[in-house]
Structure 1
Amino acid sequence: MSGRGFTFKQFDVQHDRCAMKVGTDGVLLGAWAEGGLRILDIGTGTGLIALMMAQRYGEATITGVDIDHEAAMQARDNVSRTPFANRISIIESPVQNLTADTHGKFDAIVCNPPFFNDSLKNPDQQRAVARHADTLPYRQLFQTVAQLLTADGVFSAVIPSDCLSAFCTEAYMANLTPSRRCAIRTTQRKQPKRCLIAFRHASCPHEFTSEEQCLQDAFGNRSGWYQQLTSDFYIK
């Protein structure tokens, strides 16, 4: 990884024009989320998750949407240099403006959402927009997801563990219920810091599965689980 970007096995991602850089959360979600034939990446940023989903699901078409002009431009540039360019489109728009009538519905939706609700804003306006939920409150996120998700589709996200309760409350209000959850510890000694979680329409029969995993082993190396999850992406 450099100050400008990150090189993966099948593509590289530049992030010098984006507020939110390539990081563990995005890689985790891109490697863990369920896909489909039509995938929507909300808040695509660099385009990382869209690219990971395109690599994992070879028949899929992916739409990335972002409100930030610089991020949308960089995502388009990143996508253009990959083998997946003809299957990924980037839209510069609030996701709330997307409708099923104009854009159709999606089998899978992924999002690494803004998550700070009450903390002080970052003085960097671009980073503040990317990190704070003001521009995409959880309620609006789930209302939009519920409208754009197919009847048997799945919505996957990565969020800080301390946001999980509020996140799930808004999901229930939109008639979406959890189908899969993975609590992530950085090390075995620490409490889970982040959570991967997937939702489906409450009307769609599904079971709920839950697990807990660790990113690092006792020696500070990537755990076996993390290595296996990201083996198609990280260069050893």
Structure 2
Amino acid sequence: MSKPFRFKQFTVHQDRCAMKIGTDAVLLGSWVPLSDEISSILDIGTGTGVLALMMAQRSYAEVIDALEIDADAYEQAVENFEASDWGDRLFCYHASFQEFFQEIEDKYDLLISNPPFYTDTYKTEDSTRDMARFEDALPFEHLFVGVSNLLSRKGKFAVVLPFKEEDNAIEIARRTGLFPEKITRVQGNPSSEIKRSLLLFGFDEVDVQKDELVIETDRHQYTSSYIDLTQDFYLKM
């Protein structure tokens, strides 16, 4: 039985979700730039609902929608939304992203996703976890085509990916008319390899802001940048 994950302003139950809450989602939800102009947000592949909940805590957006294909995860996300202080602004659709972007006419000011992307890892015996982890559930091409259809003209798309997929994702995005605006590369500690890329895309070609983020200097010794970024969420920050 997986324990609920308690944040400062909300709790996430995750016992029915294949993918548990990890650093990636919290990093992305804390990092994405949010302006007062953002009135609608969509979290693609919400899982536990954590990113949508983070967006509700951080923004005044009236519409915060989420999308989840797995039935158990969908039900759990709905329950997590209803138990939060922002239940009136949060809504979850039970559908695949491909179905959703082909049927929905609405445009969103911000799309956010912590997508399945383990492209080169062996599949396990647990098909639900594989669906949550493997890129074949939602290939990059589908992701960016859908995003370009659903994004408002000035809208942004924020995503976290393995660093090794960064160039590939930027190239696929370019073919759908989306260009990187901000890139933060994440290292576990100062001597480890870059593991993740946090990317923000929009429809305009601009000079890309690039920086790095190191999570720890030593085991459980967090850097001031990481604490500053995540302290509104983590209980012990």
TM bracket (short chain): over 0.9
Paired residues for 1:1-236 under 5 Å: 3-35=2-34, 36-99=38-101, 102-201=104-203, 204=204, 206-218=206-218, 220-236=220-236
How big is each residue's C-alpha offset from its partner over 1:180-230, in whole Å with a ceiling of 9 and x where there is no partner? 0000010001111111111111xx353310001100124641110111111
Q: Deviations over 1:134-185 (max 9, x none)?
A: 1211001000000000111100001111111221121111111100000001
CA distance in 2, matches of 1:117, 1:214: 24
The question of whether the paired residues in 1 share the 8 Å contact of 2:163 and 2:194 is answered with yes
Gaps of 5+ in 1: none
**Paired letter, 1:40:** L
Alpha-carbon displacement from aligned partner over 1:116-148 (angstroms, at most 9, x marks no partner): 224321211000000111121100100000000
What amino acid maps onto 1:109 in structure 2? L
Give the secondary-structure state (helix, strand or coil) at the position aligned to 2:88.
helix
The residue type paired with residue 228 of structure 1 is D
Residues 158, 198 of structure 2: 8 Å contact kept: yes
Note the alpha carbon deviations across 1:78-108, whole angstroms, 9 max, x for none.
Answer: 1111111000000010111124873500000
8 Å CA contact 1:121–1:128 kept in 2: the answer is yes
Amino acid in the other structure paired with 1:110: I
Provide structure 2 residue ranges, at least 5 long, that are not aligned to the other structure.
none
8 Å CA contact 1:41, 1:64 repeated in 2: yes
Identity %: 36
Distance, in Å, in 2 between the alignment partners of 1:137 and 1:121 is: 16
Conserved? CA contact 2:116–2:138, under 8 Å: yes
C-alpha distance in 2 between matches for 1:60 and 1:169:
33
Which contiguous aligned blocks of 4+ residues in structure 1 show a shift greater than 4 angstroms?
A: none
User: TM-score with structure 1 length normalisation?
Assistant: 0.94
Residue pair 1:177, 1:199 contacting (<8 A) in 2 also: yes
Inter-partner Cα distance in structure 2 for 1:162 and 1:76: 33
Shift of 1:33: 1.3
In 2: Cα distance, 1:100 partner to 1:209 partner: 32
Distance across 1 between alignment mates of 2:217 and 2:181: 28
Aligned residues: 233
CA contact (8 A) 1:142 1:174 kept: yes
Does structure 1 conserve the Cα–Cα contact (< 8 Å) formed by 2:180 and 2:205? no
1:54/1:103 Cα in 2 relative to 1: closer, same or farther (>3 Å)? farther
What secondary structure does 1:86 align onto? coil
Q: TM-score, normalised by structure 2?
A: 0.94
Contact 1:100 1:148 in 2 (8 A): no
SS of structure 1 residue aligned to 2:104: helix
For residues 6 and 33 of structure 1, the distance between their equivalents in structure 2, rounded to whole angstroms, comes to 21
Task: Please give the alpha-carbon distance, in whole angstroms, between the structure 2 residues aligned to 1:225 and 1:7.
Answer: 22
Deviates more, 1:23-32 or 1:218-227: 218-227
SS at match of 1:193: strand
